[in-house]
Amino acid sequence: MSSPYIDDSQRPRLRPSIAAFLDVLGFSHYSTVSATLEESQQLLDQIHSAIRDSRAFARQFFVDQAFADPSYWALKFFSDNLVIGFPADEKVVDQTQAALFAVRCMQRYQFYMATTGFFVRGAASIGPLCLTDEIIFGSALVECYRLESKASIVPRVVLTQSLTDLVMDALKNEKLDPRETGQLICRDVDDWWFVNYLHATVTPQGVDWKLIEKHKDSVIAYLAKTKTHDVLPKFGWACRYHNVFCHWHRNDPNYSDAYRIDRSDEDSTIDLLGEI
């Protein structure tokens, strides 16, 4: 498969890009506690399947867009980390459109990973990046790594201010539906904007509540199996976010309180971009 970061002479190419640095919560822990080679192989098969299916889930929604061509964006997995690059050269593509596409892909990728039991945290930025099989380089990645280490303590993908500004600019575009762009990102209680990944369940007919139920089951299952105290607050946040999303869509067709996780979080100060 051709790489968007390799030029015609087969040299690595640094390009302005939307970059994301993602960390699969608990993956490194599971890989070290697997008692046998067979158990480790099972974990490897699970994460490989989750990444493959999550990437396919992200792509299938955008089959009519040029961005959806898998040769246009790059992905690299190492240890429990994942780096995604979407080239966004201003002379080649509209950076706002590239930002919207990247956020939507991250939404769907993060959501599907969660439903397979692998919750993701991380950060996304815009800046120079080169991402090939042999090298990962660029200030966009460094910025993502620093932000992920600083702000992504819970399973959310936070955005740098420059990328947030691009998404906000989409609300000013009269050709785009503000009801859609206004749902892409949320602002948390600590003022960080993050990818509203549960929005991946929204269809033209409303929320697919079966998918929300899968997310609920995944959160509860993760809480039930965790044996480390520091993980519990992270999934307390996941419960809160899940319930806030349900509260936002409580008037959608087929909503039921049964889709909530049994907590009281409706008054949480997570704000949708479109409601600021």
Q: At 86, is the secondary structure helix, strand, or coil?
A: strand
So where are the chain's domains? Answer: 15-197
pLDDT at site 14: 93
232-239: average pLDDT: 85
Residues 244 and 56: their CA atoms lie apart, in Å, by 27
pLDDT of residue 244: 95
Exposure pattern of 242-273 as b/e (b: 16+ CB <10 Å)? bbbbbebbeeeeebeeebbbeeebeebebbbb
The model's pLDDT over 50-82, given as tens digits with 9 standing for 90+, comes to 877 777 776 666 555 666 666 677 878 776 678
- Is the pLDDT at 212 greater than 90, yes or no? yes
- Beta carbons of 129 and 141 less than 8 angstroms apart: yes
Look up residue 6 and give its DSSP letter. B
CATH number of 15-197: 3.30.70.1230
Instruction: Return d(Cα 169, Cα 271) in angstroms, integer.
Output: 17
Instruction: Name which residue leads in pLDDT, 202 or 1.
Output: 202
**Segment 198-204 mean pLDDT:** 91
- Window from 35-44, 102-111, 163-172, 241-250 with minimum mean pLDDT: 35-44
